[in-house]
Chains A and B, each alone.
Chain A
Amino acid sequence: MDALGLIKDLPKKTFLINYPSPIPFSGTIERRSGNNSLDMEITKWEVKPIPNQRENNINILLASSTTGSAAAYSDLSQRFTTNISFDNEMILLEKAVNTNNIKLFNTIINAIEWENMPVDTYIKTIRMALLAGNHNIARILAKAGGDKFPKHVEMRNLSVLLGPARIVKTGLPANPNEAKDITWLKENRDKYRGLWVALSCGVLIADATSYHDLIKKLDNPRGRGLLITPVY
């Protein structure tokens, strides 16, 4: 394979460098002209990390024939081109998620040119971000994807789910009885600390050493308005 052609066809800013072991890498490739040790004119391609990426701070020179003929420098071309493979961002993101590497995940996300990405890529990346525990990235992409693809149902649903909290109702009545449970917890903290209690309007209904033991004492507590809580 012609290394020059390979590089020309590369639109990505993120790729894998299998040298000396697989390293996901974000950066740019710049052309450098020069001569090799045999005094043959070659084009060197310098891979530079994007700024502030210390962990990937490596420089690798790719050599290629300026005429496009890999055969002329078969040894040189083959050596480097077989050591370097280019992968797409989705595979790299999956690797980052699977290895729980949030820093790498963020690096790849930042290197992707999102304005050119289809809606499926947004959706898949948002889900990967959530599985990586990167909620901020998920929210940013959900907002951007929702704005860009407002008619796409799945994208819109994600955008709404991860969007701002919504006020549903205001002006609802107060209920002074709600404060009675707080008053009970203040007054009885020392006696019941560490236990689980069930309260109703400031009255102790039951207590137990664990949640499950307390639930066993209560006959179907759901929907009865009981405050069930540990005493802190």
Chain B
Amino acid sequence: MLFLSGGIPFASGVMEYLYNPIPPDDITRRILIKILIEKEPAIAVLHTGAPYLILTPEITDRLNYSSDNCLEQTIIRIRGDRFSGGLNRLEVRLIADTGESLAFEPLVFIPDPNQDERWNNLPLFIGIDRCLERIRFALDPLETKFYFGAIP
């Protein structure tokens, strides 16, 4: 896969990504990767400025999860709007098309129910802080490939 100088592995797996704008607000394109959250597949927007894995009401429903199950309650701001929800740890997997997959446990924001209208189809965000911070990644824009590997 990819190596640092000295032969230290940088990335151990690679997956293909999508590169599309997210309606209704985006006019520029986003990097979207497929992840497994507690084994449920989902498409997440790679957002290097965001913290945590920020679930949508839909994936929360699919996971049969609730912010009531969360360890702590919080407020998070997304594109200027405040959303209430809970924080918890869930297992997330990056599944490689080639190479090795990995599982990690980020901090996850789980929105409270009854915010669907205000949520306005915001996507699932996968951020750096408390989420991808232990994973090296690199992009190949030509091949739309997302390379990743755990930081030992």
Contacts and interface: CB of A to CB of B under 8 A. Distances in A.
Contacts of A165: 104-107, 130-134
Interface in A196-232: 211, 215, 221-223, 225-230, 232
A127 interface: yes
B76 interface: yes
Interface string B16-37: 1110111100000010101000
Interface stretch (A5-13, A65-73, A144-152, A166-174): A166-174
B131 A178 contact: no
B147 to A, nearest CB: 13
Given A165-B130, A179-B97, A232-B23, A226 B18 contact: no
B58 A186 contact: no
B95 A178 contact: yes
Contact of B97 (A135, A157, A174, A189): A174
A209 to B, nearest CB: 12
Contact of B62 (A158, A173, A222): A222
A185 B18 contact: yes
Contact of A229 (B13, B42, B96): B42
A174 B101 contact: yes
Contacts of B58: 211, 228
B134 A174 contact: no
A173 B13 CA distance: 9
What class of interface size applies to chain B in its complex with A? 35 or more
Contacts of A158: 72
A168 B42 contact: no
Given A162-B130, A169-B103, A183-B16, A226 B41 contact: yes
Indicate the member of A179, A227, A229 with the most B CB atoms within 10 Å.
Answer: A229
Interface string A51-75: 0000000000000000000000000
A118 interface: no
B130 A164 contact: yes
Contact of B107 (A161, A178, A230): A161
Contact of A232 (B32, B72, B104): B32
A182 B16 contact: yes
Given A165-B107, A182-B17, A131 B74 contact: yes
B95 A227 contact: no
Contacts of A133: 74-77, 82
Given A157-B71, A170-B12, 7 more contacts: A161-B107, A167-B104, A169-B103, A171-B102, A174-B97, A178-B95, A227-B34
Interface of A: 127, 130-133, 135, 138-139, 157-158, 161-176, 178-179, 181-183, 185-186, 189, 193-194, 211, 215, 221-223, 225-230, 232
Give me the 8 closest cross-chain CB pairs, A-B, nearest first.
Answer: A172-B101, A133-B75, A130-B74, A174-B96, A227-B41, A169-B103, A179-B97, A168-B103
Interface of B: 12-13, 15-18, 20-23, 30, 32, 34, 39-43, 51, 58, 61-64, 71-77, 82, 87-89, 91, 93, 95-107, 121, 123, 130-135, 150-151
30 contacts: A133-B76, A133-B82, A135-B51, A161-B88, A161-B89, A164-B133, A165-B105, A165-B107, A165-B131, A165-B132, A167-B104, A168-B103, A171-B100, A172-B102, A174-B96, A174-B101, A175-B95, A175-B97, A175-B101, A179-B97, A183-B16, A189-B20, A193-B23, A222-B64, A226-B41, A228-B41, A232-B21, A232-B22, A232-B32, A232-B43
